[in-house]
């Protein structure tokens, strides 16, 4: 009955994410940053607030809502003459908490970094842990060719339509998947399993973490709070500690929006799967100049 789940024990998260490869957005942001002589990624020097606001404001939306959070795996498929395999987060996160895949199945949170292969899938790893013909349609030949192409997508329109039907039932937001996932969770609209073997009771959050933390300077203009309670519902401690937030090094001191938009700190999830950084007010409730 030891609740605090030893955040320092296991390292499943690739620290390579810190020097993360750039998606289109990040590349665009980078271009903009380098055109104006702002600080390079990781630099401690902070950008002027208004300049930063302008850069963030013109960041293109991160793809269409159907595609936000989809990971496309094409390297091995291409070599084998198969269409790329698509992993849609929206569909899976409605059924499982993040921890099921990123802790229990030990998948690192970085596209392409797990070496997902056909052999692995066939032996029950990666996608094959669930796509076995019981929990979900199978990766094996005996599922018939049609099943192969549900992942190796030649045409995404069917999956996109599924998304639209699914999203129509959920609370809306204006960013990312255009779904307010937090509200969907709070309203019980997406009952997730938190383990492959059915649901397990979550250890209670240590008392010291129940109160939201005030991050950064705590000045009126930023006033970002971080709630362990909200994040804890879907995520184990090890998804954030020590790789994304090293408590001992007091990571907060070096936070800036630049590092966030480069996919570090909050951006590790909030640029790729959870609501994206364009949604300023979700984190900066008292921010006004963006309208």
Query: Scanning residues 232 to 291, which ones bind ligand HEC (CB under 6 A)?
Result: 232, 234-235, 237, 239-241, 244-245, 247, 250-252, 255, 257, 260, 265-266, 268-270, 272-275, 277-280, 282-284, 290
Closest by Cα among 272, 255, 283 to 102: 272
Q: Is 68 in the site for ligand HEC (CB under 6 A)?
A: no
Interface with ligand HEC (CB under 6 A), residue from 22, 86, 167, 190: 86
Q: What is the SS3 assignment for 180-233?
A: CHHHHHHCCCCCCECCCCCCCCCCCCCHHHCCCEECCCCCCCCCCEECHHHHHC
Interface with ligand HEC (CB under 6 A), residue from 8, 34, 75, 124: 75
Q: Is 103 in the site for ligand HEC (CB under 6 A)?
A: no
CA distances for 208 relative to 98, 204, 216, 224, angstroms: 23, 11, 19, 18
Scanning 34-42, 47-55, 60-68, 164-172 for contacts with ligand HEC by CB under 6 A, the matching segment is 47-55
Which of 28/113 has CB closer to ligand HEC?
Answer: 113
CA–CA gap between residue 164 and residue 160 (Å, rounded): 6
88 contact partners, CB below 8 Å, separation of at least 6: 69, 70, 159, 163
Beta carbon of residue 35, minimum distance to ligand HEC (angstroms, whole number): 18
Interface with ligand HEC (CB under 6 A), residue from 38, 68, 90, 96: 96
Q: Is 102 in the site for ligand HEC (CB under 6 A)?
A: yes
CB 121 within 8 A of CB 131: yes
Paired tokens of 50: 């208004």
Which of 262/278 has CB closer to ligand HEC?
Answer: 278
Q: Is 67 in the site for ligand HEC (CB under 6 A)?
A: no
């Amino acid at each position: 009955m030891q609740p605090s789940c030893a955040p320092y024990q296991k390292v499943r998260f690739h620290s390579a994410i810190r020097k993360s490869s750039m998606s289109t957005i990040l590349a665009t942001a980078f271009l903009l940053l380098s055109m104006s002589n702002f600080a390079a990624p990781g630099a401690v020097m902070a950008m002027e607030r208004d300049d930063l606001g302008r850069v963030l404001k013109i960041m293109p939306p991160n793809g269409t809502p159907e595609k936000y959070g989809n990971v496309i795996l094409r390297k091995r498929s291409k070599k084998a003459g198969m269409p790329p395999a698509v992993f849609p987060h929206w569909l899976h996160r409605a059924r499982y908490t993040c921890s099921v895949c990123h802790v229990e199945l030990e998948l690192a949170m970085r596209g392409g970094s797990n070496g997902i292969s056909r052999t692995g899938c066939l032996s029950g790893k990666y996608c094959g842990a669930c796509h076995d013909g019981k929990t979900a349609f199978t990766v094996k030949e005996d599922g018939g060719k049609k099943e192969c192409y549900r992942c190796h997508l030649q045409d995404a329109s069917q999956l996109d339509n599924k998304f639209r039907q699914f999203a129509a039932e959920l609370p809306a937001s204006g960013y990312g998947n255009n779904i307010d996932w937090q509200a969907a969770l709070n309203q019980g609209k997406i009952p997730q399993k938190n383990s492959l073997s059915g649901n397990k009771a979550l250890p209670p959050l240590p008392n010291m973490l129940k109160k939201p933390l005030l991050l950064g300077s705590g000045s009126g203009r930023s006033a970002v709070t971080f709630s362990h309670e909200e994040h804890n519902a879907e995520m184990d401690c090890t998804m954030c500690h020590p790789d994304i937030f090293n408590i001992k090094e007091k990571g907060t001191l070096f936070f800036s929006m630049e590092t966030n938009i480069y996919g570090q700190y909050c951006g590790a999830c909030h640029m790729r799967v959870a609501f994206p950084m364009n949604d300023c007010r979700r984190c900066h409730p008292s921010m006004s100049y963006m309208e």
